[in-house]
Amino acid sequence: MRRRTAATGWPSASPPPAWDGLSWALSDVSQLPLVREELRRSHVVDGAADLRDRLVLVLDEMASNALRHGGGCVEAAVRHTGDAFLVAVSDGDACTPPTPAVDRDPSEGGLGLYLIAELSTAHGWYVDGDAKTVWAVLPPH
Q: What is the pLDDT of residues 10-30, one digit of tens each?
A: 778 889 989 889 999 999 999
Pseudo-torsion of CA 106, 88, 54, 17, nearest 10°? -140
3 state DSSP class of 37: helix
Pseudo-torsion of CA 35, 38, 42, 47, nearest 10°? 60
Residue 102 pLDDT > 80, yes or no?
no
1 contacts 128 by C-beta, under 8 angstroms: yes
Q: What percentage of the chain has pLDDT greater than the value 70?
A: 88
Domains and CATH numbers, the chain: 19-138 (3.30.565.10)
For the question of whether the overall pTM of this predicted structure is more than 0.75, the answer is: yes
Cβ-in-10-Å burial (0-12, 13-18, 19+) of 124 comes to middle
Distance CA 47, CA 3 (A): 34
Residue 45 pLDDT > 90, yes or no?
no
